[in-house]
């Protein structure tokens, strides 16, 4: 009799541990929207090591909890399929690291701006000044020619000739400045290309390093909670977590895409 009671109690205890109220089986044997061909149990047990399924009741709700550790194959699938926005990742999530890596080139850009950039700025300013002077001389020439038409004196003729001479000098000066500006613009464009290339290289390196070392890291713990509806026929994922997902703000659809990847 005592042996029977002990066996009965052991069976009850095992039933409680295994969650044999059927909720765990319901979730594991069920499917999720968008992934109808593979059961939850097959996908989750296949994607993680040290898996554990359990049930709790929270404020009358039946919760099936899953924990596990990311497998190497799951990590590889995530690295292959997940797309990370380079600008958001490097200049928002990893802004300090990006700034540190870009610092040497940023110093080069600053030097360029203080030398060639300043020279270009001055050349454009002087070019605008010459344009203004040339336009003013054009107006002066019109006035002088009107005066000469009224009174054809040597003085009025000399005024016109002087204006024409000054315009020729300005034209030469303007032409030289335009050539200089074109050359400096080429240098500025080249610097911008180098800057873009440096930013792109750093961003790609940072993302590749993150994917290898921190994106779905092998052995890191994951946790999912499935809320079972009162009718006992339906369930959905009420929460999910992993340090790398939390860091990037990875959404549930992206996580499930990796877990259910074939």
Q: Report the chain (262 residues): mean pLDDT per 10 consecutive residues.
A: 37 37 89 93 97 90 95 92 79 86 94 94 96 96 93 92 96 96 96 95 90 89 94 88 88 94 78
d(CA 248, CA 254): 11
Q: Which element (helix H / strand E) includes 194?
A: helix 154-213
Whole-number pLDDT of residue 161: 95
Say if CB 64 and CB 225 are below 8 A apart: yes
Say if CB 70 and CB 258 are below 8 A apart: no
The partner residues of 48 in beta bridges, in order of sequence, read 70
Whole-number pLDDT of residue 21: 59
Q: Which element (helix H / strand E) includes 223?
A: strand 221-228
Q: From the CB of residue 26, how many other CB atoms can be counted at a distance below 10 Å?
A: 19
Say what the pTM is: 0.61
d(CA 55, CA 17): 9
- Among 47, 81, 40, 58, smallest CA distance to 222 is for 47
d(CA 24, CA 43): 14
Whole-number pLDDT of residue 3: 41
How far CA 180 is from CA of 116, 126, 127, in Å, comes to: 11, 11, 10
Q: Which element (helix H / strand E) includes 56?
A: strand 48-58
Place of tokens 């000066």: 173
């Amino acid at each position: 009799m005592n042996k029977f009671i002990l066996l009965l109690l052991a069976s009850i205890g095992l039933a409680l541990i295994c969650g044999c109220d059927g909720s765990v089986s319901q979730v594991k044997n069920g499917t999720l929207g968008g992934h109808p061909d593979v059961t939850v149990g097959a996908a989750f047990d296949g994607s993680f090591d040290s898996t554990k399924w359990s049930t709790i009741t929270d404020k009358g709700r039946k919760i099936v909890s899953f924990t596990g550790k990311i497998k190497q194959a799951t990590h590889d699938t995530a690295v292959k399929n997940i797309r990370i926005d380079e600008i958001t990742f490097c200049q928002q999530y990893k802004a300090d690291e990006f700034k540190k890596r870009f610092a040497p080139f940023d110093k080069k850009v600053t030097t360029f701006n203080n030398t060639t950039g300043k020279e270009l700025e001055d050349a454009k300013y002087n070019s605008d000044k010459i344009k203004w002077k040339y336009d003013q001389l054009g107006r002066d020439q019109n006035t002088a020619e009107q005066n000469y038409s009224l009174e054809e004196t040597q003085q009025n003729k000399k005024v016109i000739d002087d204006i024409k001479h000054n315009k020729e000098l300005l034209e030469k000066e303007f032409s030289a400045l335009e050539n200089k500006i074109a050359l400096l613009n080429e240098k500025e464009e080249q610097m911008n290309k180098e800057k873009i290339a440096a930013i792109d290289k750093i961003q790609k390196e940072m993302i590749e390093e993150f994917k290898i070392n921190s994106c779905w890291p092998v052995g890191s713990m994951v946790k999912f909670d499935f809320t079972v509806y009162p009718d006992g026929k339906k369930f959905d994922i009420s929460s999910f977590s992993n340090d790398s997902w939390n860091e990037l703000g990875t959404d549930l659809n992206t996580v499930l895409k990796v877990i259910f990847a074939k």
